[in-house]
Structure 1
Amino acid sequence: MIGFVFPGQGTVRVGMGGWLRRDQAGAAVVERADALLPEPVSELCARGPLERLIDTAHAQPAVTVCNLAALAVLRAKGHEPDVVAGHSVGEISALCAAGVLDVDTAISLVATRARLMAALPDTGAMTAVMGMTPHEVENLVAEVAGPDEPLVVGLENAPDHTVVSGASTAVERLAKLATEAGARKVVALKVSNAFHSPLMAGALDGWAEAVRAAPLSPPRIPVVPNATAEATTDLPTIVDALIVQLTARVRWTETMHALSGADTLIEVGDSKVLAGLFRAVGVKCLSMADPTAVRRLRPEPAA
């Protein structure tokens, strides 16, 4: 059994997708995306500047285009997944791999998601806390969150890697408390707002409308949504999970457990972030950031 996992917004960097754009199958996807998106991303991925690339309006399309280009490379070589998952915005790419979305629909949806989220007031922040359990971080969240300063655990990336998301002032106070409580590392993320938190609620109605209006098909294979961390082939469940994901917690630790039975896992995109998270829980995951990873997959089916 082979599992494809797709990285999210936090993996963008100048130069991303270089070898994928040089591959015939990957280049075709990038060219198609440039034609469909409000602003082409290939040149931005290749040359930056970084300040523009990491902006939500550009970062989400950029990482999705690289993910879909990597998927096209795998498909051109005869590789298809048996189960898929995507981290945050990477879930859109996973749904494409599962046959729920076609490439054009995936690109259209990510453009809408990015636009809606970028349009929200920039009042939030996110910080990663490492060396503490999610339960320990949640206790700290309860100390600093308030009615006018929402704060939540936005992502459980690994058993000792939790990301808090919410009002900037609350995030700052939590970072101080976590450091005092003995966290191994506390790192402010370079993001424009508090994703996977109540501060994204303003985009929820528009996102739900876009998702429900999109042409969707039942998945050919199981999908593990972020919001549930349970493999499913039920389209209504997948649609609901994709919508609530905007404000809901990314349950990646549980997702990795759900995928741990796969014989082979590969991070489909130009990133090593998910491969590193799997490694932290003792599970091997190849990364297409290394072009040789494709050659280490199971043999291609006979023609």
Structure 2
Amino acid sequence: MVGYLFPGQGTVRVGMGAWLRRNPVARRVLDAFDERLSRPISPICTRGPLDRLVSTEHAQIAVTACNLATHAVLADEGYEPHVVAGHSVGELSALYAAGVLDLAEVARLVELRARLMARIDVVGGMHAIMGLEVAQVEEMAMWATAPDEPLVIGLENAPGHVVVSGHIGALDRLAKLATSASKIVELAVGNAFHSPLMEPAVPAWTEAVETALMSPPRVPVVPNVTAEPTLDLLAIRRALIAQLTGRVLWTRTVAVVDAMGPSVEVGDSKVLAGLSRRSGARCLSMAEPGTLRRLAREVAA
């Protein structure tokens, strides 16, 4: 048994999923996922162009397709998770792995989520703040916030790796305040995810989640907004809704999963494995050659 961590939107690149398309088991999942979308995502993953792939309406779907296909590879090798979590939109993939959502519901929900978030026209963005603690960034975000220009911590990714999310004006003010940060990185995202600027998408997203066909989870799920393992289906629905505007508590999530045993990043990404290492946690990445052999040794140990 091993913990599964599913990556989110910031991990896309042209050519993603190439190794999955060479695997017959994974390829069947990619094809089945394409069939359930209004438009297949595989051609954009394979050929781009990059600006189209990284757009919100495509990136969330692309990463989900690769996550589910990678899950199929692990299942074919006989692995089952003992706990699951997903980073931002990766939470939908985690719910699939826990048996809460089937393939068709994941496709429907991720396509709607991407469309709702892409349509928000308020000018927002996200910056990664390196080298500062959460409390320091929170104070700076408070000072940078102005009326109708909110700024919040959107993601606690790892120690010294905090992402702020909000109005462009507030982000500019924070950049002038955060002189003690080791680095500030503007993220290539379409808007201020996990912030109050996502509020216009909440009503439609709430309706979709509340009416989604869900089954009780087979294994504990660690939602982003609570970082607490749960088998409660109502709590899972509420957390999935709250996540749209709420903070991703990934540092705490990684600690919870690591305390339960070894974990693996399930997708065509190495981002979560890197964040886990920053937190002192054990996590392999399925995007690394030879991971299945290393995973077998880790689980056996």
Task: Return the TM-score normalized by structure 1.
Answer: 0.96
Q: How does 1:117-136 map to 2 (within 5 A)?
A: 117-136=117-136
Question: Following the alignment from structure 2 to structure 1, what is the Cα–Cα distance between the partners of residues 82 and 62?
Answer: 25
Q: How does 1:148-159 map to 2 (within 5 A)?
A: 148-159=148-159
Asked if structure 1 preserves the Cα contact closer than 8 Å seen for 2:258 and 2:282, the reply is no
Asked if structure 1 preserves the Cα contact closer than 8 Å seen for 2:216 and 2:231, the reply is yes
Amino acid at match of 2:272: L
Question: Following the alignment from structure 1 to structure 2, what is the Cα–Cα distance between the partners of residues 237 and 86?
Answer: 16
Q: Which residue of 2 aligns with 1:208?
A: 206
Q: Deviations over 1:166-211 (max 9, x none)?
A: 0011011112211x2x101100000110000000000001011111
Amino acid at match of 1:140: M
Q: How does 1:209-224 map to 2 (within 5 A)?
A: 209-224=207-222
Asked if structure 2 preserves the Cα contact closer than 8 Å seen for 1:7 and 1:63, the reply is yes
Task: Return the TM-score normalized by structure 2.
Answer: 0.97
Amino acid at match of 1:128: A
Q: Deviations over 1:232-287 (max 9, x none)?
A: 00000000000110000000011111112233210000000000001011112100
Q: How does 1:1-303 map to 2 (within 5 A)?
A: 1-178=1-178, 180=179, 182-298=180-296
Question: Following the alignment from structure 2 to structure 1, what is the Cα–Cα distance between the partners of residues 147 and 25?
Answer: 50
| SS of match in other structure, 1:165 | strand
Asked if structure 2 preserves the Cα contact closer than 8 Å seen for 1:19 and 1:291, the reply is no
Give % identity.
58
Question: Following the alignment from structure 1 to structure 2, what is the Cα–Cα distance between the partners of residues 168 and 112?
Answer: 25
Measured after TM superposition, the shift of residue 122 of structure 1 is 4.4
Question: Following the alignment from structure 2 to structure 1, what is the Cα–Cα distance between the partners of residues 101 and 294?
Answer: 27
Question: Following the alignment from structure 1 to structure 2, what is the Cα–Cα distance between the partners of residues 197 and 38?
Answer: 28
Question: Following the alignment from structure 2 to structure 1, what is the Cα–Cα distance between the partners of residues 17 and 292?
Answer: 15
Amino acid at match of 1:68: L
Question: Following the alignment from structure 2 to structure 1, what is the Cα–Cα distance between the partners of residues 236 and 196?
Answer: 21
Question: Following the alignment from structure 2 to structure 1, what is the Cα–Cα distance between the partners of residues 59 and 127?
Answer: 18
Q: Deviations over 1:122-161 (max 9, x none)?
A: 4101000000001000010111102210110000001210
Question: Following the alignment from structure 1 to structure 2, what is the Cα–Cα distance between the partners of residues 138 and 261?
Answer: 27
Asked if structure 2 preserves the Cα contact closer than 8 Å seen for 1:7 and 1:86, the reply is yes
Measured after TM superposition, the shift of residue 76 of structure 1 is 1.1
Segments of 5+ residues of structure 2 without an aligned counterpart are: none
**Greater shift in the superposed pair: 49-58 or 143-152:** 143-152
| SS of match in other structure, 2:4 | strand
